[in-house]
Copies of this chain bind each other. A is one copy, B any other.
Amino acid sequence: MAQKPSIPKGTRDFSPIEMARRNYIFDTIKKSFRLFGYKQIETPAMENLSTLMGKYGEEGDKLLFKILNSGDFMKSVSDEDYAEKNLPRLTNKMCEKGLRYDLTVPFARFVVQHRNDLSLPFKRFQIQPVWRADRPQKGRYREFYQCDADVVGSDSLNNEIELLALIDKVFQDLGINITIKVNNRKILAGIAEVLNASDKIVDITVAIDKIDKIGIENVNAELVEKGLSEEAIEKLRPILELSGTNEEKLAVIKEILKDSAEGMKGIEEMEEVLGGIDALGHKCKIEADLSLARGLNYYTGTIIEVKAQDVEIGSITGGGRYDNLTGVFGMPGLSGVGISFGADRIYDVMNQLNLYPEEISESVRVMFVNFGKAEAQQCLKYVKALREAGVPAELYPDAVKLKKQMSRADEDHIPFVAIVGETELQDGTIMLKNMISGTQEKLTIDEVIMAVK
């Protein structure tokens, strides 16, 4: 029976033009990954659930796509299990595998599993899809690509400086104006410490983030509600009112944090990172920003977030330093730092600003019209010569009406159409039509190759 075909919600097909655009973004990112010495790896789409479960919090466990065991998937399910209808337990008995949820956990698993074959520090990049059973909504998909670059096995802040240089280069190449925001978890921890509120590091960071939207009075009211003392709130004020250059901001924070060893360490780190990238030079804006709260539960040092300046959209790239990536897999003490380019949001930004170069297209340069068997046979030889010269070319396969062939060339935005009719067949020429200007010329194949290249 005929079915009306569709795809699962939250997933997408990519058409040739979409692919051309996405390839442009991925290729641009990849080119810089390679220039910076990151090496590509790939891991399987399916990981053992024992690798994935418990790594993304309770909510994350629910958002994993689980694969039903092949064969008799009911064999471990007892009548009691069924009667109890405990979904996690049933899942555990029927499913051993799940789809990867991000590239970080598989990377950690990879590092530990292949530890004897890797030379540290190991710089890897990975560009693969991930899957999350999130509720689909605008800009949020159940299958999407991540583009990650990480260094493990090195504590040096040179890695952070290099990552900022990498971000600067990628977005410069793409033509997107960005601001990189830099924070450091140790500074946040220091602030919480000097306020005697070490357990409230997240609340304090969220408060700093809200200051522009709701004003200092409302922020302070919220902090009171969260249980922060009046004295602490007063001490926090200069941080909430932070402004000026990165140096000016750091000077204010330094004064407040002078009694927190961790806080001072964070400032030192940030000064080295910002000083390093400034010494190197950069096109983008780089801003110390204490309101960055991303990944506070796993980042341990530098935190990085990238915003597009000309489009209202969330962060388009992010990352940071984590101190114990592989501990959960039995390999403690390995520090790492990495970033993840948000390919789908970058794609949205590129589309909105129309930043693709003109020549991006999956179309051939030349389409030969098909007038019948003898002409087609000759055209295939010309097509072959063009391809050997590196020019994508094709013959319209069927000898149908000229109009139909031309309209297909038009729809596909093919820039040149080549016509070999009876006359051209006899005198060994090609009528080359420029589809943009509408002009046409009688040329030899060598001249065609020159003309379309």
Residue of B nearest to A82 (CB): B82
Partner of A381 from the list B94, B280, B393 (CB cut-off 8 Å) is B280
Residue of B nearest to A15 (CB): B41
Given A37-B393, A46-B11, A67-B66, verify A5-B377 contact (CB < 8 Å).
no
Answer yes or no: A12 CB below 8 A from chain B CBs.
yes
When distances are taken between beta carbons in the complex, the residues of chain B under 8 Å from A438 are: none
Encode A111-125 as 1/0 by CB contact (under 8 A) with B. Answer: 011100101110110
Q: Quick one: which of A125-176 are within 8 Å of B by CB?
A: 129, 131, 133, 142-143, 151, 154-156, 158-159, 161-162, 165, 169
Asked if A34 and B362 make an inter-chain contact with CB atoms under 8 angstroms apart, the answer reads yes
Q: Quick one: which of A4-50 are within 8 Å of B by CB?
A: 4-8, 11-16, 19-20, 23, 34-37, 39-48, 50
CB distance from A65 to the nearest CB of B (A): 5
Q: How many residues of A contact B (CB 8 A)?
A: 111
Q: Which of A85-93, A182-190, A238-246, A247-255 contacts B (4 or more CB under 8 A)?
A: A85-93
* Residue of A67, A82, A120, A279 with most chain B CB atoms under a 10 A cut-off: A67
Q: Which of A307-315, A347-355, A384-392 contacts B (4 or more CB under 8 A)?
A: A384-392
Partner of A68 from the list B48, B68, B131, B376 (CB cut-off 8 Å) is B68
Asked if A35 and B393 make an inter-chain contact with CB atoms under 8 angstroms apart, the answer reads yes
Asked if A19 and B40 make an inter-chain contact with CB atoms under 8 angstroms apart, the answer reads yes
The SS class assigned to the A binding surface is mixed
> Roughly how many angstroms separate A273 CA and B299 CA in the complex, as a whole number?
62
Q: Which of A70-78, A191-199, A203-211, A426-434 contacts B (4 or more CB under 8 A)?
A: A70-78
Answer yes or no: A233 CB below 8 A from chain B CBs.
no
Asked if B154 and A7 make an inter-chain contact with CB atoms under 8 angstroms apart, the answer reads no
> Roughly how many angstroms separate A15 CA and B111 CA in the complex, as a whole number?
10
Answer yes or no: A356 CB below 8 A from chain B CBs.
no
Encode A414-432 as 1/0 by CB contact (under 8 A) with B. Answer: 0000000000000000000
When distances are taken between beta carbons in the complex, the residues of chain B under 8 Å from A362 are: 34, 39-40
Answer yes or no: A59 CB below 8 A from chain B CBs.
no
Given A47-B8, A276-B377, A328-B3, verify A13-B41 contact (CB < 8 Å).
yes
Partner of A37 from the list B113, B381, B394 (CB cut-off 8 Å) is B394
Asked if A41 and B68 make an inter-chain contact with CB atoms under 8 angstroms apart, the answer reads no
CB distance from A165 to the nearest CB of B (A): 7
When distances are taken between beta carbons in the complex, the residues of chain B under 8 Å from A129 are: 45
Q: Could you name 13 residue pairs across A and B whose Cβ atoms are closer than 8 Å?
A: A3-B328, A7-B46, A8-B48, A35-B391, A35-B393, A39-B362, A45-B129, A46-B143, A67-B68, A119-B412, A159-B397, A162-B397, A280-B377
